[in-house]
Amino acid sequence: MSDERTGTIEVAGRLRLFFRSRVTADSRGRLLAVHGLGQHSGRLTGIAESARRLDLDYYALDLRGHGRSPGRRGHVSSFDRLLSDLDRLRRRTGNGEPRRPTFLLGHSLGGLVVGRYVQEFGFPGLAGAALVAPFVDVARTPPTWKLRLGAVADRWIPALTLYNELPPEMLYRTAVEVDGHVSDPLVHHRISARMWGEMQRQATILVDRARQSRVPVLIQVAGEDRAVSSRAALDLADAFEGESQAIEYEGAYHDLYRDPLAGDAARDLEEWIEGRLDRMGSAEGNVAV
């Protein structure tokens, strides 16, 4: 597989969003990954390695307001922009082959983006979606004053940003990962009133429409997640009407693919994707000609 490449794509608002890619010569499909709040595509190295082992082309976007992409840090005017940005990346990749197997993976906020994307956008090659510690609800309720301020600002000052209440010690179990987070200049710690409001509204829609979903879904949950609610994510897995699988990693913290159990999570992800690819290959082999 070739080395990592970078590029930009133009999206709504005439922004050019940054993305990373790794393409293999004998690709079996592609994996599109979406990072979490305050993070960026460069933090998804474990996912990129899984894609390499699976012989999948890999693409990861820096969401607007994150990483090397432009925009106010931690802010989005509408969640629909995030969905359309992911759709733009999906349409710009794949060598013009809309039916080639495509897997989507999202962590935390990215899990919410991917979950809502598969509910709103269907395309022939969509093979499955992996939601890693997805935002469905918070693990702990923010202070009352912040909730009240956020509700007012969401309506009147939507771009107002506050600290996101996610210290690195809440996300990682090891000092090495905490230090890496703190020293990464592309990581930020802000969330706008509108982003927070949109995340809550979209999480409600994700749950309400779960029984309408038919896309195979893998949900990976961190057992000691102190950022998002693991219980809410497991309940979401139960609510999906289509094929779904949930795996909980006992003792793991929120950033599962940077946790000591990252290897276990990667193996489970790769087995799940392999299973989907095998089934798709068998289905194609059984088509009468």
Counting Cα atoms < 13 Å in the Cβ hemisphere of 244 gives 20
pLDDT score at 120: 94
**Residues 131/219, Cβ–Cβ less than 8 Å:** yes
Q: Under the phi-then-psi rule, with left for phi > 0, alpha for psi from -120 to 50, and beta for the rest, what region is 177?
A: alpha
**Percent of the chain's residues with pLDDT above 90:** 77
- 268, 247 contact by CB (below 8 A): yes
For residue 190, give both structure tokens. 């802000």
85 within a domain of the structure (yes/no): yes
Task: Report which of residues 145 and 187 the model is more confident about.
Answer: 187
Nearest to 222 by CA among 167, 281, 265: 265
Going through 12-98 in order, the beta strands assigned E by DSSP cover: 15-22, 30-34, 57-61
Which of 39-43, 141-145, 177-181, 239-243 bottoms out in mean pLDDT, i.e. has the lowest?
141-145
Beta pairing class for 57-61 and 30-34? parallel
Q: Are 100 and 127 in contact (CB under 8 A)?
A: no
Residue 134 pLDDT: 98
CB 177 within 8 A of CB 255: yes
Q: What is the pLDDT of residues 75-120, one digit of tens each?
A: 999 999 999 999 999 998 876 566 789 999 999 999 999 999 999 9
247 touches 160 (CB < 8 A): no
Q: Is the pLDDT of residue 221 over 80?
A: yes
Q: What is the pLDDT of residue 289?
A: 28
Question: pLDDT band for position 280 (50/70/90)?
Answer: confident
Q: What pLDDT, on the 0 to 100 scale, is given for residue 241?
A: 81
| pLDDT value for 25 | 85
Alpha helices in the chain (DSSP H): 45-53, 79-92, 109-120, 144-156, 168-171, 175-183, 193-208, 230-239, 262-285
Domain count, the chain: 1
Instruction: Average the pLDDT over 201-209 and give the result.
Output: 97
pLDDT (tens digit, 9 = 90+) per residue, 126-170? Answer: 999 999 999 999 998 777 777 788 888 999 999 999 888 899 999
pLDDT of res. 99: 72
pLDDT at res. 217: 96
CA distance 9 to 18: 7
**pLDDT at res. 143:** 77
In a domain? residue 288: no
As a whole number of angstroms, the distance between CA 256 and CA 264 comes to 10
| pLDDT at 263 > cutoff 70 | yes
Q: What is the CATH number of the domain that holds 159?
A: 3.40.50.1820
Query: Binning pLDDT at 50, 70 and 90, where does residue 22 land?
Result: very high
Listing DSSP states for 211-265 in one string gives GG--S-EEEEEETT-SSB-HHHHHHHHHH-SSSEEEEEETT--SSGGGSTTHHHH
- Tell me the pLDDT tens digit for each residue of 88-100: 999 988 765 667 8
Virtual torsion, Cα 20, 10, 199, 62, nearest 10 deg: 20
pLDDT at 97: 65
Quick check: is 148 in a domain?
yes
Q: How confident is the model at residue 208 (pLDDT cuts 50, 70, 90)?
A: very high
The arithmetic mean of pLDDT across residues 43-67, rounded, is: 97
Q: In the chain, pLDDT over 70 holds for what percent of residues?
A: 95
Whether 243 is in a domain gets the answer yes
- What is the reported pLDDT for 286? 44
**Cα 13 to Cα 8, 60, 70, 86, distances in angstroms:** 14, 20, 11, 14
| Tokens linked to 49 | 């390695």
Write down the mean pLDDT value for the chain.
92
Question: Whole domain around residue 170: which residue ranges?
Answer: 5-280
Q: Are 87 and 93 in contact (CB under 8 A)?
A: no
Q: Kindly state the tokens that stand for 44.
A: 């998804």
Residue 278 has pLDDT above 80, yes or no: yes
Pair 38, 189: CB distance under 8 Å: yes
